[in-house]
A and B are shown apart, each in its own frame.
With several copies, the nearest count.
Chain A
Amino acid sequence: MTSHEDWISLLPEPLDAAAAVAFVTDGQAGGIDVFLGTTRAETSSDGRALIALDYEAYEQMAVEQLRELARRARERWPIVRLAILHRTGRVAVAEPSVIIAVSTPHRAESFTACRRLIDTLKQDVAIWKKEVWADGSGTWVGGNPNDETRNPNE
Chain B
Amino acid sequence: MMVTVKLFASLRERASASELRIELAEPATVALARDALAERFPTLCDFLPRVAWAVNRAYVPIETELRDGDELAVIPPVSGGCDDVT
B-binding residues in A (CB < 8 A): 30-31, 37-40, 42, 44, 50, 55-58, 60-62, 64, 86, 97-98, 106-107, 118, 121-131, 140-145, 149-153
Contacts and interface: CB of A to CB of B under 8 A. Distances in A.
13 contacts: A30-B83, A37-B82, A42-B86, A58-B54, A58-B57, A58-B75, A107-B81, A123-B78, A124-B78, A126-B8, A128-B78, A129-B79, A142-B76
Interface of B: 6, 8-13, 46-47, 49-54, 57-59, 61, 73, 75-86
Contacts of A55: 80
A38 B8 CA distance: 23
Interface majority SS (helix, strand, loop, mixed), chain A: mixed
A37 B9 CA distance: 20
Interface centre among A44, A57, A126 (most CB of B within 10 A): A126
Given A50-B86, A127-B78, A129-B79, 7 more contacts: A58-B8, A121-B81, A127-B81, A131-B86, A140-B76, A145-B49, A151-B51
Contact of B80 (A38, A39, A42, A129): A129
B80 A98 contact: yes
B75 A122 contact: no
